[in-house]
């Protein structure tokens, strides 16, 4: 079972990186749930806490304008 978790945890992290946004936040929350998730997932998802590349402000501003008008 541990081998399966070790194999799939990086896949889950890659999917979260691709989906971004809310999925990143969910991954951050899950990364501290050592009582709920296997260690392989906690280790992979913990990189979402401080190892994410910054988003350019121009892109953030454009998204806010599209969303809020």
Which one has a higher pLDDT value, 67 or 53? 67
Find the DSSP H helices in 1-69. 2-19, 22-30, 39-45, 47-50, 57-68
Predicted confidence band of residue 44 (pLDDT cuts 50, 70, 90): very high
In 1-69, beta strands by DSSP E: none
- Residues 40/6, Cβ–Cβ less than 8 Å: yes
pLDDT over threshold 90, residue 52: no
Mean pLDDT for the stretch of residues 43-58: 89
Mean pLDDT for the stretch of residues 22-50: 96
The average confidence (pLDDT) of the chain is 94
Closest to 8 in 3D by CA, of 48, 37, 32: 37
How many Cβ atoms are within 10 Å of 41's Cβ, its own excluded? Answer: 22
């Amino acid at each position: 079972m541990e081998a399966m978790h070790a194999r799939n945890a990086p896949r889950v992290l890659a999917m979260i990186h691709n989906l971004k946004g809310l999925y990143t936040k969910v991954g951050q929350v899950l990364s501290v749930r050592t009582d709920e998730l296997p260690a392989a997932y906690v280790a992979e998802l913990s990189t979402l806490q401080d190892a994410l590349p910054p988003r350019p402000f121009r892109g953030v501003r454009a998204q806010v304008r599209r969303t809020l008008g």
